[in-house]
Amino acid sequence: MTSAPSPAASPAAAGQTGPEPGGPLLTAAGLRKTYGGTTALDGADFSVSAGEIVAVMGPSGSGKSTLLHCLAGIVPPDEGRVTYAGRELSALSDAERSALRRGDFGFVFQFGQLVPELTCLENAALPLRLAGANRKQAEGRAAEWLARLEVDDIEHHRPGQISGGQGQRVAVARALTAAPRVIFADEPTGALDSLNGERVMQLLTEAARDTRAAVVLVTHEPRVAAYSDREIVVRDGRARDMSAPAGVL
C-alpha cells in the first residue's frame, strides 16, 4: 500500500499554542444547547487527544450530532465551552473558526456531500484550494490521497458517475487532504452496505492513525464504533465515557 502523504502545517494552526503533550487536543465542558423548547445538550462533557478515535453513540435525537456541531464550531453552545489546542472556540472570530474548518478540521458526512459539478480530484483538492493553495499543489496532494484510498482510477469522474462506496472514499480523501488535526465523521457509513462500510472505516482509521489525527466518530452502529479507541454514549443530552467508572461522565 502507498505510504501516507506527510502532514502539512495548516494555515489556521500557525502560531497556535497546542495542548500539553499527551493531553487532550479538543475538549468540551458543560455544553448546553436548546432548540426552541427542546434540549439537545444538557451539560455534556467531551475530550479527544491527538491520534485517538472516539465514537459518539446514542439513539436518534439524543444530541450526538449537536455535540459534534458544537465541537466543530459550526453551532455555538448556549452554555459551556469548547477548547481546541488551548484556545476557546467562542473567543475566535467567525473568520478564525472558518479557517479552522478549512485547515485544522476535516469532515466526512453520511452522504459524502461532494460538489456534483467538480471531478473527484477537484472535490478532494477543495479544502486546499479554499485555503489558497495553487491548483497543481492542491490536486497533487489530493491525488496522493485518492491513490491511498484506492479510488485514483475515478479521479476524473464526477460524483454522479461513481458508486456510493467510491464517493465516501473521495469524501475521506477530501477530509484528509489539508492534513487536519481533527476529523469529524458523522455517520460516515450510514448510506453504505456492510462491505463498503467496513472498507471505508478501515481506510479512514488507518489514515488517521498514520497522520496522528484525532477522530470524532458519530455513529449508531456497534460495528462502526468497534474501530474506535473509546466510546462516548449520549443520552438525554448528557455524555458518558463508557471506559470511565460507573457514575463518572
Strand, helix or coil at 234? Answer: strand
Pairing of strands 24-35, 38-49: antiparallel
Do 239 and 45 contact (CB within 8 A), yes or no? yes
Do 49 and 25 contact (CB within 8 A), yes or no? yes
Sequential pLDDT tens for the chain (249 residues): 444 454 343 333 333 334 445 589 999 999 999 999 899 999 999 999 999 999 999 988 889 999 999 999 999 999 999 999 999 999 999 999 988 988 899 999 887 789 999 999 999 999 999 989 999 999 999 999 999 999 999 999 999 999 999 999 999 999 999 999 999 999 999 888 899 899 999 999 999 999 999 999 999 899 999 999 999 999 989 999 887 654 444
pTM: 0.85
What's the pLDDT at 111? 75
Residue whose entry in the numeric block shows the C-alpha cell 487536519: 180
Residue 198, exposed/middle/buried by CB under 10 A (0-12, 13-18, 19+)? middle
Do 230 and 52 contact (CB within 8 A), yes or no? yes
What's the pLDDT at 244? 61
What's the pLDDT at 9? 37
What's the pLDDT at 248? 44
Alpha helices in the chain (DSSP H): 64-71, 94-102, 120-130, 135-148, 164-177, 194-211, 222-225
Return all residues near 32 (Cβ < 8 A) that are at least 6 apart.
Answer: 39, 41, 42, 43, 44, 77, 78, 79, 80, 237
